[in-house]
Structure 1
Amino acid sequence: MIRKSRATLLLMLALPALAHAVEILRWERIPLAIPLTVGQERIVFVDRNVRVGVPRDLQGKLRVQSTGGALYLLANEPIPPARLRLQDATNGEQMLIDIAATEAAADQQPREPVRIVAGEPVAPHYGQPREAQPSAAAKQTEQAEAPKAVPRETPVPVVLTRYAAQMLYAPLRTVEPVDGVGQVRVKRQLDLTTLLPSLPITATALGAWRLDDYYVTAVKLQNASAQH
């Protein structure tokens, strides 16, 4: 009786794991194929806050909802292969997924959720730290010294300002990811009357970003006088 009860318990514990199976896809800068079934919602876990770029010709055909690091995709009709862009709202990094929706077969089971995980780190590029080449003397004392900040190929203020400008004005597909940049919460009703107190200017904070020890804040200036 004891052995039988244990076997039954193990079986009962295994059933929820099977019911919540998740397909793992690794992002290595190669578009990820995520097939859909018409009328069945499929969940894609990305574990980050992303913005989704959807082609215009998919409006009304594909419902996309994003919340809590997960995407909810629902095809309302068959969709030929199409590409969606996912952009990390924090650092601008992009991922590409290829979707296609088909009608469900008679005996087809609901598609399991998908989880996208990070692949190998990308090579250093614009705005990312570059590896410093230590000298022979530095190699000998490397273990004794504390780690130092790695210099960047481009000055941080330049990188941060350009990134902020792209986030405000550039199309989603052209925003270049920058390692280490983060968006800073800023109040839209922030009092900026002391910014230009002698001029009839209305100032409004649009957003702020941080990289290392530098901050940049985008401010909209509007002429409040009668003369334009």
Structure 2
Amino acid sequence: MDYRKINSHIILLLIVAIAGLAIAMVGRLIVLEKGFDIGTANLTFVIILGVCLIVYLVILAALAHVIVPWIMKKLPNKKKVIPIITDNNVSNEEKRIQKSSIEDIRKDAEKRHIEKQNAEIDLFIEYTHLTMAPYVTDDELSRLDSYIEYYARKESLPDNLTPIKPKTLKNPDMFHFGWNMVHYFGYDKQDVVPWLKQIFLQLRDLEDSTIKGKLYDGQTRKYIIPNIDDIPKYLAEQNK
């Protein structure tokens, strides 16, 4: 038997029952000593036991419904007050520190973004030099680097830019170069068409739809500049 499961109310009831029985027994003995018969003594025992039970119930009800609630009302109310942080209870110094912390986080995030973007641009320019250098002049290659950087940073090209005219390369080669660039930077493929028409002189008279439909070619390997899905992997293979 697990004595831990005995309820405190049961223990109290047992104590009261034992006390009531003891009082009833004493009353019965007193009645017998006075010369009354056993029946009267037993009746006295029952009456005393019943009175003890009624008294116990009355006391229990009074405690539960009157005395305990009255005591609880008299006790001090110690509710925990949770402080609410508002502009009124935050000092100017704390506000300055919070603002400074947020600014530092924002600047750090911007710095990491710029560093990542610069690394991506540098890698594609490395690919550009490997691919385009044999077919353009040094000046054209330098300008092409800057035009690529404009595109990568989503900045508008200069209105007075001088277009580039590669030697030997055919129109599909430049289409593929444009596709490689926009695919590498993860931009919308169609948005590269205006850029190609501004940068390469021989593409300026072509319809946008013509360029758009030929950015990617299934027979790409037959051209000088093929479509490349993975520029970093391509560079790693070329540098072996």
* TM-score, with structure 2 as normaliser: 0.23
Query: Highest Rg: 1 or 2?
Result: 2
* TM-score, with structure 1 as normaliser: 0.23
Bigger RCO (CA 8 Å, 6+ sep)? 1
Name the structure with the higher strand share.
1
